[in-house]
Structure 1
């Protein structure tokens, strides 16, 4: 397919032109060759540009989060026709500038040029991939050498140098075999798209568009204009029921309506607050949620978009073009077609995964990444974001589990200045020769850290308080709620507590890194409901709070920045007590204890972005389970009741063997534990002497 952009021409008699084209380095007068980013270019067109040639000198990405509103609100700098999203122009300094208004890349692009005085177009440039929202500048200096080029008919021609080339004397056309280009080329709408500040005094326009909204506006504009241009929409329009402009039910002429749509002048997108949208003429303002939820794999809600567009077409609130007062109408017709074209991947931007705007911090609201109305699987999208599954095997920390089995008892005598009242172990985790013990003694919350190198116990540090930067001010923090769980993975220590936060520290120096949860009980994008246990596996950190299993991506963790919650299971029922969490490395299944005598099982392989993470099975357990862990495919559970520590069937929950007594150790009040380096590390919370036992697994016969 060919796309042509023609500039106004003023013919100059005998004009001969061309130029040596280059990105960052040009020809010198005494040379016969040019070079592009260090690669020799022998003055024969076309110039070949690959992704490797892009750098900060020649490429800028429009509508990025740091772009000034003065730029994107200036229609002279940021606007486009939906039928010509790839713009090409030559500047006064003989630089060729390409701007691509698209959230998707375009591959295999050929740029043809036509100069006044020459009979045919010649192949000027081959671009392997034009990036989303890319502005590419290719400098064209005054020509000092002649160039060889090839025309459409295959002729080899000589184009002579000329310093008088102007934008009026050159035109460009574009070809691409990318299927995406074919879709863009099918757009028949004549809309001009821009972005508006609108009123500073009218309350509904008080808040202005952010760059993230402008990018989504581009997607909406391309999708709408493609849909209205399609044969499928025209067919659906004719087959749909009557459309009315007012309450008298006089039918709208659908042919005239479609012409009105295609020939509309354009839309100036804006941002509204207090109302979902405002539209009329070219005015097209919407609230943030409308910019996000229109995708089929988001909430799939398009009502405001097509309601306001009907206003732009001149229709009011009577009839069925906006509020559908006389029965299903315009917004139903458009919604159904929009969803169908999205699910069939026909829309230019059919998935929220092209931009993932809900993850952007450049927004007004911090709403969670919502569950998808529909799931769209696609290799192109997988290449962008790694796939719908968030799990990455290469991020699993399998270290720290080697070493010989050890045997010892650890209690308050092993902690400097501690007493039975100030040291009460709650959870334990072992990584190599380091033992992390959560201490939930009243008014003495801490994580006590020990070394067991050379088989000897040695206290090497405590985490009781830490410094955190808040808006440039350093504040001192402590565990604001009773600490419950601890784990270590990929150089980070995670500690849960009932202050609805999970604190994260660097394993190397125990300094504070960041936290999950904002300390306020809730289910928002940055909230947990308390926090009881924590594990890390394949790139996700799972936190069992009082209601749900919550997941956060390890790869997005940043120092000092609380991460957004990636997934949250439904409310599984709140109860008082200890919650445990573990992953069976053999099956990949996640198990979570619940105080109501059950164990919930989750299948991580079923987790998809934006989909609620529901448990796959529940196992009844004889007693109230506290914690659990796995060793070589065997599941062990601590609980109340007579059988305080048992091996249980991971498929049924039935007790296989009771290990309340192990050798000369009788467990009296066991709770949390871990099995590492072929050793059971068990917290026993007896009232007269809480401690941590290390028992070689060989003793659990």
Structure 2
């Protein structure tokens, strides 16, 4: 079965396990472990397999299962369900997005004086259903009572749920928090098929990720309403009104009504933000509501509490739904929800427990990234997703080996080319392969060469490719090229970055970044000038911004979304460059307005606009830049056309316009690889690429 959080590949293995497994009706009636001579049964996380464990509300669970209350429902004050089923199997279900540790189940059987220790579970996983056959149905067993007495449990193939009592003990702080819930709501899920009132609202049914989020929302709301913090805030808040005449509501009676409310049956609605109906379990929310109630998401809770106000019997008067008579229920609940989340007091205080926003199994496929209203960090969350910083991947260490190279490459090295049809704009070298972007008008291409043994051999020209069964080309002037992890990236002013397979003959097209339409939407860039990769993030400099894309999302046929976009850097035409200083971890980018912008990648967060930590003024207009052994080199339009500069001040340390017998006339983009400077020189007489060993730049 497929991984259920298909777009969250960075979620740790336990979460991937969380949402996979066999179908419920495929579970065997017995667990693993062979013959058991004595109790308790002890299970660790490694003992959970498809033979004994299934995960509730997983993405592959059929709607007819999770819409069936007899199969999928729970009470908020009893999210951990344990029972003996009709097949003499111990059945545990846990409706929670968080795990608990060190769970002990005690059993009492009719005819025995004391209860005995039955099962010890090192962990109960989020949304886990555990099913194992009770061993004393088929054999005699030794067990131990609470007083430490050793007893024998006799084989009983006729044991039923009426003859056995099961009790859970757990000191896990999260479990104890759940035990503090005083609300008695029953939570279920409904498709509201055929609902008579505006059936179009319920055309798009609740999906499994929505159902998991409904569990989180129900636990959070019920815990909040059960807390002393809410009761105190309720009484300290201003008056609550049931109508526009400002008829005051008895707050003690209101709280009792909330605690004793019978339950909520979650559904999904569209066309409206939500639907709640007085005195019923009907509680429908638009998809965004399931995502944005977290304080480390957008923290939009208005609809969540507005609709619950309707459930409590209040209409659009007073301040229990719309706050017509002044701040009321919506504001009160939002304030307490926020504060308890920031204090990590709510059961599911962060979106990071499930990362539903990154799940592709939902309706809106354009909003996978959203800046956090408030940032929440913690070891428990980092264990799930690796931390808030996106820079978790590996920088491709390959292709930089080999001895220095010395050569000059020009139009004579390209079959049937002339100085008019071949004008190198950018160059990148990976091992013995050189990639050269050609921006000659009417001849846009990526030219690929072998430079093994300092020899120049033309391998291929990429001028067109097949995309969606159609032929495509570089629609505008190409600018930058980079290779990493088996992919070639080429930027061009058609507001796209083309991505090709570097390891397959013919270099087939994979996908692109940017949909070709100028803009700042989730799949757009404003032109595309330079590209680089660092620690799993693709960095694209367009005409206004630095754009960041997660490399892990590059898949055939998928248009990846922009993870984050920098502050507006100022729009102007020119050549742009990107480089990361591996020693400091800082990101440097050139700007035609005679400056270098510096960013601190580790500060970047999802959906935010990274800001420059400083700007470095330059004497000349910088084109491109790269680091070599801690030294920063910059090409420019000034008298000093290629220099080493101070990475802190931008001051020129040494001018390398002349390097032995080579005088650079119009250098632009370059890279330093294999201890070699590979640099384009765009002279009017005939542009070329030089390869100059770095030991000549003393």
User: What CA distance in whole angstroms lies between the structure 2 residues aligned with 1:105 and 1:477?
Assistant: 49
Instruction: Give the superposition deviation at 1:610.
Output: 4.3
Change (3 A) 1:142 1:124: closer
Describe the SS at the equivalent of 2:209.
Answer: helix
Change (3 A) 1:136 1:525: farther
Describe the SS at the equivalent of 2:341.
Answer: helix
Worse overlay, 127-136 or 339-348: 127-136
2:204 aligned with 1:210: no
Aligned to 1:500: 495
Describe the SS at the equivalent of 1:331.
Answer: helix
2:249 aligned with 1:255: no
2:506 aligned with 1:512: no
Instruction: Give the superposition deviation at 1:40.
Output: 5.1
Aligned to 1:671: 668
User: What CA distance in whole angstroms lies between the structure 2 residues aligned with 1:498 and 1:635?
Assistant: 27
Aligned to 2:21: none
The Cα offsets for residues 188-245 of structure 1, whole Å up to 9 and x where unpaired, read as: 1111111121255622222222221111111111100010011111111111111111
Contact residue 137 and residue 159 of structure 2 kept, 8 A? no
Contact residue 465 and residue 477 of structure 1 kept, 8 A? yes
Contact residue 94 and residue 142 of structure 1 kept, 8 A? no
Aligned to 1:682: 679
Change (3 A) 1:88 1:621: same
Q: How does 1:54-203 map to 2 (within 5 A)?
A: 54-140=48-134, 143-200=137-194, 202-203=199-200
User: What CA distance in whole angstroms lies between the structure 2 residues aligned with 1:463 and 1:43?
Assistant: 70
Q: How does 1:325-336 map to 2 (within 5 A)?
A: 325-336=324-335
Contact residue 670 and residue 682 of structure 1 kept, 8 A? yes
User: What CA distance in whole angstroms lies between the structure 2 residues aligned with 1:24 and 1:205?
Assistant: 37
Instruction: Give the superposition deviation at 1:273.
Output: 1.6
User: What CA distance in whole angstroms lies between the structure 1 residues aligned with 2:642 and 2:423?
Assistant: 20
The Cα offsets for residues 334-366 of structure 1, whole Å up to 9 and x where unpaired, read as: 111111111111111001111111111112112
Instruction: Give the superposition deviation at 1:628.
Output: 1.0
Instruction: Give the superposition deviation at 1:24.
Output: 6.4
Instruction: Give the superposition deviation at 1:406.
Output: 1.7
Change (3 A) 1:213 1:521: farther
Instruction: Give the superposition deviation at 1:525.
Output: 2.9
Aligned to 1:487: 482
Change (3 A) 1:40 1:274: closer
User: What CA distance in whole angstroms lies between the structure 1 residues aligned with 2:166 and 2:528?
Assistant: 60
Instruction: Give the superposition deviation at 1:141.
Output: 6.8
Instruction: Give the superposition deviation at 1:558.
Output: 3.1
Instruction: Give the superposition deviation at 1:75.
Output: 1.7
User: What CA distance in whole angstroms lies between the structure 2 residues aligned with 1:516 and 1:51?
Assistant: 40
Contact residue 667 and residue 681 of structure 2 kept, 8 A? yes
Change (3 A) 1:82 1:665: same
User: What CA distance in whole angstroms lies between the structure 2 residues aligned with 1:60 and 1:657?
Assistant: 66
Worse overlay, 330-339 or 394-403: 394-403
Structure 2: runs of 5+ lacking an equivalent = 1-26
Aligned to 1:14: none
Aligned to 1:623: 620
Instruction: Give the superposition deviation at 1:692.
Output: 0.7
Q: How does 1:244-643 map to 2 (within 5 A)?
A: 244-280=241-277, 281-365=280-364, 366-392=366-392, 395-468=394-467, 470=468, 474-509=469-504, 510-643=507-640
Contact residue 681 and residue 694 of structure 1 kept, 8 A? yes
Contact residue 36 and residue 135 of structure 2 kept, 8 A? no
Instruction: Give the superposition deviation at 1:606.
Output: 1.6
Q: CA RMSD in A?
A: 2.0
Aligned to 1:3: none
User: What CA distance in whole angstroms lies between the structure 1 residues aligned with 2:252 and 2:226?
Assistant: 13
Describe the SS at the equivalent of 2:137.
Answer: coil
User: What CA distance in whole angstroms lies between the structure 2 residues aligned with 1:371 and 1:383?
Assistant: 21
Contact residue 29 and residue 89 of structure 2 kept, 8 A? no
Change (3 A) 1:518 1:69: farther
Worse overlay, 480-489 or 179-188: 480-489
User: What CA distance in whole angstroms lies between the structure 2 residues aligned with 1:357 and 1:143?
Assistant: 41
Contact residue 619 and residue 652 of structure 1 kept, 8 A? yes
The Cα offsets for residues 288-335 of structure 1, whole Å up to 9 and x where unpaired, read as: 111111111111121111111111111111111111111111111111
Contact residue 93 and residue 141 of structure 1 kept, 8 A? no
User: What CA distance in whole angstroms lies between the structure 1 residues aligned with 2:111 and 2:470?
Assistant: 72
2:691 aligned with 1:694: yes
The Cα offsets for residues 150-182 of structure 1, whole Å up to 9 and x where unpaired, read as: 222322221111221122222322121211101
Instruction: Give the superposition deviation at 1:622.
Output: 2.3
Change (3 A) 1:88 1:449: same
Change (3 A) 1:442 1:148: same
Contact residue 94 and residue 141 of structure 1 kept, 8 A? no
Aligned to 1:18: none
Contact residue 206 and residue 267 of structure 2 kept, 8 A? yes
Contact residue 93 and residue 140 of structure 1 kept, 8 A? no
Instruction: Give the superposition deviation at 1:660.
Output: 2.4
Aligned to 1:20: none
Instruction: Give the superposition deviation at 1:443.
Output: 3.1
Out of 200, 222, 226, the position equivalent to 1:229 is 226
Instruction: Give the superposition deviation at 1:78.
Output: 1.5
2:43 aligned with 1:44: no
User: What CA distance in whole angstroms lies between the structure 1 residues aligned with 2:564 and 2:272?
Assistant: 29
User: What CA distance in whole angstroms lies between the structure 2 residues aligned with 1:529 and 1:305?
Assistant: 37
Contact residue 97 and residue 348 of structure 2 kept, 8 A? yes
User: What CA distance in whole angstroms lies between the structure 1 residues aligned with 2:119 and 2:607?
Assistant: 41
User: What CA distance in whole angstroms lies between the structure 1 residues aligned with 2:89 and 2:464?
Assistant: 58
User: What CA distance in whole angstroms lies between the structure 1 residues aligned with 2:695 and 2:139?
Assistant: 83
Contact residue 240 and residue 318 of structure 2 kept, 8 A? yes
Worse overlay, 524-533 or 331-340: 524-533
Worse overlay, 138-147 or 155-164: 138-147
Aligned to 2:10: none
Describe the SS at the equivalent of 1:382.
Answer: helix
User: What CA distance in whole angstroms lies between the structure 2 residues aligned with 1:517 and 1:211?
Assistant: 30
The Cα offsets for residues 114-156 of structure 1, whole Å up to 9 and x where unpaired, read as: 2222233221111111111112221237833211112223222
Worse overlay, 299-308 or 83-92: 83-92
User: What CA distance in whole angstroms lies between the structure 2 residues aligned with 1:41 and 1:688?
Assistant: 86
Change (3 A) 1:499 1:121: farther
Out of 657, 662, 669, the position equivalent to 2:659 is 662
User: What CA distance in whole angstroms lies between the structure 2 residues aligned with 1:72 and 1:479?
Assistant: 48
User: What CA distance in whole angstroms lies between the structure 1 residues aligned with 2:517 and 2:193?
Assistant: 36
The Cα offsets for residues 644-682 of structure 1, whole Å up to 9 and x where unpaired, read as: 222222112233333223233222222111111221111
Instruction: Give the superposition deviation at 1:638.
Output: 1.6
